[in-house]
Amino acid sequence: MYASAFVLGFHGCDESVAEKIFAGKEHLKVSGNAYDWLGEGIYFWENSPTRALD
């Protein structure tokens, strides 16, 4: 059980893409790669910005 409801997650995208998403001009794209661990989806990595960029 988590001690806090706050979870810091990282998504591997360029800063320019993140700014467009936050501004509502673009949406995150679903990943459908054969190597995706959990299948099709949008992935965030908890406490791991380096892994998110991978």
Q: pLDDT tens, 8-52?
A: 888 788 889 889 999 999 998 888 888 887 888 888 888 777 777
Is there a domain that residue 32 lies in? yes
Whether residue 22 is contained in a domain is answered as yes
Per the structure, the complete domain to which residue 33 belongs is given by 9-53
- Residue 3 domain-assigned (yes or no): no
How many distinct structural domains can be found in the chain?
Answer: 1
User: Is the confidence at residue 1, as pLDDT, over 90?
Assistant: no
In a domain, 2, yes or no: no
**pTM surpassing 0.85?**
no
Round to whole Å and give the CA distance between 37 and 6: 24
Identify whether 33 is part of a domain.
yes
